[in-house]
């Protein structure tokens, strides 16, 4: 089975691989239901979805009648103003068929202009705090993408007591010196405050570029099982982090298989060989 770790201050022991439910954004309900069976097979007990993940919340909703207590349930709101965010939160609960989620996250707060809008007067943060006060969520987090996000999360933690953060993390991305420094500074603060750190984009092989996408991830993922093992084990080798699974139901089984066999972190030398052999390229410029 996949190892577990306390999810920050929540008191919940989450599997270290969280189900990235963008994977069911564009699939049928039957395909989504088979994905649930796979999650249960591996003991995954934490779902991470978002209002902006296509039909994902609608696909998860039917699971909740029987399995609500089996999962720590997280969603995200990408609206920037109070009223728009409040409306999105209520709609997410309806789509998920629940009266509350465990974690509500302010989504893609990655750049200064968006940060000012979301965190300022009349912004989405006020809606999230109100949702918490009304029992619609137990915890509040913040997420983001791109190379500025670790520094932006540090800024967010200065003005609000967030329970979790989410951001990209992979061996190739950590070759960016500035991002690596910002990421490590963020993790240090999160450890001090018992804030959960979730990571995404661990399986980046390279951007799609002009190639036709064959997976629902917005980057070309690693797919050879041995390569997936290395990428997953490298992330899990940091004992303070969670890995959100890649957003494709066909890649998901390989990620869960790798996580279930995690033992030790691959060496930098091993990862460098992988980078060269697969001609890997970062999703964000180094």
Instruction: Give the pTM.
Output: 0.97
pLDDT score recorded for residue 285: 72
Q: How far apart are the first and last CA of the chain?
A: 35
pLDDT of residue 1: 82
Instruction: Report if residue 75 sits inside a domain.
Output: yes
In a domain? residue 24: yes
240 lies in some domain: yes
Say how far apart CA 110 and CA 150 lie, in whole Å: 8
| Residue 286, domain member (yes or no) | no
How far is CA 152 from its chain centroid? 16
- In order along its 286 residues, the chain shows pLDDT tens digits of 899 999 999 999 999 999 999 999 999 999 999 999 999 999 999 999 999 999 999 999 999 999 999 999 999 999 999 999 999 999 999 999 999 999 999 999 999 999 999 999 999 999 999 999 999 999 999 999 999 999 999 999 999 999 999 999 999 999 999 999 999 999 999 999 999 999 999 999 999 888 888 898 989 999 999 999 999 999 999 999 999 999 999 999 999 999 999 999 999 999 999 999 999 998 887 6
Q: Which domain holds residue 167?
A: 4-277
pLDDT for position 286 = 64
Write the CB contacts of 82 (distance below 8 Å, at least 6 apart in sequence).
122, 123, 124, 126, 127
- The verdict on residue 284 lying in a domain is no
Looking up residue 94, the CATH number of its domain turns out to be 3.20.20.100
The DSSP result for 151-206, as a single string, is HHHHHHHHHS--SEEEEE--TTGGGSHHHHHHHHHHHHHHHHHT-EEEEE-TTEEE
Question: Domains in the chain: how many in total?
Answer: 1
Is position 285 within any domain?
no
Is residue 282 included in any domain, yes or no? no
């Amino acid at each position: 089975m996949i190892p577990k770790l306390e999810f920050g201050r929540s008191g919940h022991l989450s599997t270290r691989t969280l189900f990235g439910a963008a994977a069911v954004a564009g699939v049928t309900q039957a395909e989504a239901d088979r994905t649930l069976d796979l999650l249960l097979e591996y003991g995954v007990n934490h779902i991470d979805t978002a209002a902006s993940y296509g039909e994902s919340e609608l696909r998860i909703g039917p699971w909740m009648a029987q399995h609500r207590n089996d999962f720590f349930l997280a969603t995200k709101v990408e609206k920037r103003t109070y009223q728009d965010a409040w409306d999105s939160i209520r709609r997410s609960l309806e789509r998920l068929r629940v009266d509350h989620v465990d974690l509500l996250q302010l989504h893609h707060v990655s750049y200064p202009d968006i940060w000012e809008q979301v965190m300022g007067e009349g912004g989405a943060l006020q809606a999230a705090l109100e949702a918490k006060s009304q029992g619609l969520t137990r915890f509040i987090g913040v997420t983001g993408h791109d190379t500025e996000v670790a520094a932006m999360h540090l800024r967010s933690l200065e003005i609000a007591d967030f329970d979790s953060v989410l951001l990209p993390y992979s061996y190739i991305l950590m070759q960016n010196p500035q991002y690596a420094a910002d990421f490590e500074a963020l993790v240090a603060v999160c450890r001090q405050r018992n804030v959960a750190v979730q990571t995404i984009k661990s399986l980046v092989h390279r951007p799609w570029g002009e190639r036709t996408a064959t997976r629902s991830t917005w980057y070309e993922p690693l797919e050879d099982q041995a390569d997936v093992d290395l990428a997953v084990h490298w992330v899990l080798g940091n004992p303070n982090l969670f890995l959100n699974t890649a957003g494709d139901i066909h890649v998901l089984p390989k990620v869960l298989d790798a996580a279930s066999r995690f033992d030790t972190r691959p060496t930098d030398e091993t990862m460098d060989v992988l980078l060269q052999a697969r001609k890997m390229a970062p999703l964000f410029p180094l």
